[in-house]
A and B are shown apart, each in its own frame.
Chain A
C-alpha cells in the first residue's frame, strides 16, 4: 500500500516538474556562454504531458490502430526478445560463474575477458551480430543475442562472488561430511549465492531491455519498441508527442521486466534463512 503510494507520488512529482518547467522555463532554453544549460521548454521539444497521452489514444496513421495498441504490441514483441536474451544470458552467466568457482585457472584466465567483453562498444558489436540474421538464425534471435551479451555479465560476476561467499568453516563442515564438489555446490554454495544472484539478475534484466532496444535499432528488426522509437523519432519534426509515446513504452517495458525479475525471487528466497544457518 505504502509502496503504491510512493510510486504514485513519484509519477506526480515527475509530472509536476515537467509541466512546471514548461511553465517557467524559457521556450528557447537557457544558454550560458554558448552552452545550453537548460533545455528548451517549447512544445516542439517538450510537448505537454496531456498531448502525449492524447496522442496515445489517436490512430498511429489515418485509419490505423491507436498508438497505445501499436506500442503495446511492440512491447510484447520486445519483451519476448528480452526474455530470450535474459534467460540465455543468465544461464551462460551461471555456467561461467560455476566454472570460475570450480577451477581457479579458469577464473584467472577468463575473468579479465568477461570484464573486457563489456568494454566492447555495442555499436561495434551489433553490426557483426546483425549479419547472422537470416543465415544461421532468424533476425529476432540476433537481437536476443545482443541482449544476452549484455545480461550475462552481471550474473557471471555476481554469482561468482556469491559462490565464493560461504565461510571457510561452512566449506570445512561440508568436507567433514565427506561431501564432494557437486554436493557442496548444491547444498552450500548455491543457497549462499542467492542473495548475490538476485541483485545481479535485476541488473541483467535491465541490461537485457537496453540490449533488445538498441539491438532492434541497429539491426532494423521490425515489430519491437526499439524500432518504434526510431521510426517515431523521424517524425519528431511534425509530431513531437509521438516520439514520447514510444519512449514511454520503452520505459514501462523496463519497469515491467524489473517487476518480473523480482517476482522470481519470491519462491527462491524462502531458502535464504537456511543459508544463514549453514554459513554461520
Chain B
C-alpha cells in the first residue's frame, strides 16, 4: 500500500513537472452515432449534492440523459470552484450558476450563455425574529443586518435601496457566516437565508427555552420576490462559442430535454428524488432534503412559460439591479449591459416541444407544494 502511494505520488509529481501548467483538452463532442455510443458530458454544479440539483441527479438516475444519447457526469462544487469559470475554461460542457454571478463572469470575458432558466424564482430571504417586528425592507432601518457578501448580497441591497434606505448609512451591515447562529444568538437582527437551506436550518434547531424546535411562528420573512428586488438564480449555462456548432446545439437541446424530464420527475416524485439525493451521499438529513426538494419545486413550478424559459421581465429586472445597485463597498455586479448572447430561449423551446411530445407536463400548472415537517438537525 505504501509502495503504491509512493509510486502514485511520484507519478503525480512528475506529471506535474512534465506538463507544467498545461491543461488537457476536453473530449470532443461527438454526435451520438448510429452505433449508439453515448456522448460524454460534464455538468458542473454549484455545490455539493443536495436537492437543489435533484432534477439533474434524477435525470441521470432515471436514464433520461441516456435516452437522449448522453452520458452525463455531475461534478460537485467546492468553495473555490466557480461553475461558470469551469465552463468557460472547457472543464465542463454545461454549468449551473446564478444569473448575476454568471453575468459578472461574462463581463470579465467568460464566453457563456444562459440556455435554460430552470429556477424561475429567487429563493433568497431575509429572516428576522418575529418579536423584532421587522416585516419589510424599510423596517431594517437602524438594525444589524447580516449579509453573505461575495456577490450573494445584491437582492438585499436592492431591496433596501428600493425601500428608500441607504444601505451604507441606515443599517449596520455584518458579514454573515453560512450558518444561522448569529441570528439565533441575536447578534444580528436579520439574516440572509435561502428558503431551501438556511431557513430550514433555523426550523431544525432546538429552542433552549422550550426544549422544542423553533417554528415558523418564531420568525418573520422578508421575501425579495414580494419586495420586487428578486434576481434570477439557478440556470443552465452553455459555452457561447460552441453554440455556433450544430452538433453542440443539437446536444444542448437533448441535454435540456432530459433535464426538463428530470425536474418534472422530481415535481411529481419529491420523496423519490429526496432518496436519490440522500443516496448520492449528501450529509444533510432526510427531512432537510425533502424540505429543500419542496422549496426548490416552488421556485420552478408552476412555470407559466414552460420550465427553463427566460422571462424577459425577470431578466431585465436582474440586469437592472446588477447595474444599478451598489453593495457596501460601492461595487455593482455589472458595469454595462451584457453584450452578445447572454441568454437564448432557442434551445429550451425546442427542448420543451420535445418533452411535451413525450408526454411531459412542462408547466406544472397543477403543482401544489407539500407540507414538510423538519426533524431536529434535519435528520
Taking Cβ atoms with an 8 Å cutoff, the residues of A that contact B are: 28, 40, 42-45, 60-62, 80, 83-85, 87-88, 91-92, 123, 126-128, 130-132, 134-137, 141, 144-145, 148, 217-222, 228, 230-240, 242
B124 CB to closest chain A CB (Å) equals 17
Contact B81 A148 (CB under 8 A): no
Cα separation A61 to B22 with both chains bound (whole Å): 42
User: Do residues B80 and A127 form an inter-chain contact, with CB atoms below 8 A?
Assistant: yes
Verify if B16 is at the interface (C-beta below 8 Å from A): yes
A84 touches B9 (CB 8 A): yes
B302 at interface by CB-CB < 8 Å: no
Q: How far is the CA of A217 from the CA of B204 in the complex (A)?
A: 25
**B184 within 8 A of partner (CB):** yes
Residue of B21, B201, B208 touching A238 (CB-CB under 8 A) = B201
Contacts of A240 on B, CB cut-off 8 Å? 181
For the complex formed, measure the closest distance between the CB of A92 and the CB atoms of chain B, giving whole angstroms. 6
B81 with A135: CB separation less than 8 A: no
- Evaluate whether A84 and B184 lie within 8 angstroms (CB atoms) in the complex, with A217-B78, A235-B378 already known: no
Q: Which residues of A have CB within 8 Å of B6?
A: 84, 87
Chain A hits for B82, CB < 8 A: 127
Name the A residues within 8 Å of B284 (CB-CB).
Answer: 234-235
The answer to whether A135 touches B23 (Cβ under 8 A) is yes
B109 to chain A, nearest CB (A): 16
B32 is an interface residue with CB less than 8 A from chain A: no
Known: A87-B9, A218-B80. A136 touches B201 (CB 8 A): no
Partner of B86, one of A44, A60, A87, A131: A131
**Is A61 within 8 A of B80, CB to CB?**
no
A-B contacts, 17 of them at CB < 8 A, read: A83-B5, A84-B9, A91-B9, A91-B13, A126-B80, A134-B91, A135-B23, A136-B22, A136-B23, A137-B15, A219-B80, A220-B79, A232-B283, A233-B178, A234-B201, A237-B204, A240-B181
Residue contact A44 to B283, C-beta cutoff 8 Å? no
Residues of B contacting A123 in the complex (Cβ-Cβ under 8 angstroms): 80
Does B235 sit at the interface, judged by CB under 8 A? no
Number of A-B contacts (CB under 8 A): 141
**Are B204 and A238 touching (Cβ within 8 A)?**
yes
Q: Chain A residues near B2 (CB, 8 Å)?
A: 83
Q: Chain B, 213-251, contact with A by CB distance < 8 Å: what is the 0/1 string?
A: 000000000000000000000000000000000000000
CB distance from A233 to the nearest CB of B (A): 7
B143 contacts the other chain (CB 8 A): no
Q: Which residues of chain B are near A131, meaning CB under 8 Å?
A: 23, 86, 89, 91
The answer to whether A234 touches B178 (Cβ under 8 A) is yes
When A80-B5, A238-B376, A239-B377 are in contact, do A92 and B13 touch as well, CB less than 8 Å? yes
**B378 — which chain A residues lie within 8 A by C-beta?**
235, 238
Tell me, yes or no, whether B372 is within 8 Å of chain A by CB: no
B213 to chain A: closest residue by CB: A238
| B346 contacts the other chain (CB 8 A) | no
Contacting residues of chain B (1-40) with chain A, CB-CB under 8 angstroms = 2, 5-6, 8-10, 12-13, 15-16, 19, 21-24, 26
Whole-angstrom distance between the alpha carbons of A92 and B13 in the complex? 8
Is B76 part of the contact surface with A, judged by Cβ < 8 Å?
Answer: yes
Residues of chain A with a CB closer than 8 A to B341's CB: none
Contacts A132-B23, A136-B23, A237-B202 hold; do A88 and B10 have CB atoms under 8 A apart? yes
Residue from the list A45, A144, A219, A230 in contact with B181, Cβ < 8 A: A45
B13–A136 CB distance below 8 A: no
User: Bound state CA distance, A222 and B19, in angstroms?
Assistant: 26
Cβ of B162 within 8 Å of any chain A Cβ, yes or no, is no
| B12 pairs with A84, CB closer than 8 A | yes
Residues of B within 8 A of A (CB): 2, 5-6, 8-10, 12-13, 15-16, 19, 21-24, 26, 42, 47-48, 75-82, 85-86, 89, 91, 177-181, 184-185, 198, 201-202, 204-206, 208, 278, 281, 283-286, 375-379
How many angstroms between the C-alpha atoms of A83 and B2 in the bound complex?
A: 9
CA distance A173 to B180 in the complex (A): 69
Complex Cα spacing A148 to B9, Å: 9
CB contacts (< 8 Å) of B75 on chain A: these are 134
Check A234–B86 contact: CB distance below 8 A: no
Check B179–A237 contact: CB distance below 8 A: yes
Q: How far is the CB of B369 from chain A (nearest CB, A)?
A: 22
CA distance A61 to B375 in the complex (A): 11
Task: Tell whether A130 pairs with B23 under 8 Å between CB atoms, given A144-B9, A234-B284.
Answer: no
Q: Contacts A236-B179, A236-B181, A237-B202; is A218 near B19 (CB within 8 Å)?
A: no
Contact residues in A for B23 (Cβ distance below 8 Å): 131-132, 135-136
- Top 10 nearest A-B pairs (CB, nearest first) are A220-B78, A218-B80, A238-B204, A231-B283, A236-B179, A88-B9, A238-B205, A237-B201, A127-B80, A239-B377
Shortest beta-carbon distance from A122 to chain B in Å = 10
**Contact yes or no, A238 B377, CB < 8 A:** yes
Q: Chain B residues near A238 (CB, 8 Å)?
A: 201, 204-206, 376-378
CB neighbours (8 Å) of A232 from chain B are 283
Q: Evaluate contact between B9 and A44: CB separation under 8 angstroms.
A: no
Min CB–CB distance B182 → chain A (angstroms): 10
A231 to B280, CA, bound (A): 14
Residue in B closest to A83 when the chains form the complex, CB atoms: B5
Residues of B near A219 (CB, < 8 A) are 78, 80-81
Contact of B8 among A61, A84, A217 (CB under 8 A): A84
The answer to whether A220 touches B76 (Cβ under 8 A) is yes
Shortest C-beta distance, B112 to chain A (Å), equals 16
Q: Which chain B residues border A228 with CB–CB below 8 Å? A: 283
Residues B286 and A141 in contact, CB atoms below 8 Å apart:
no
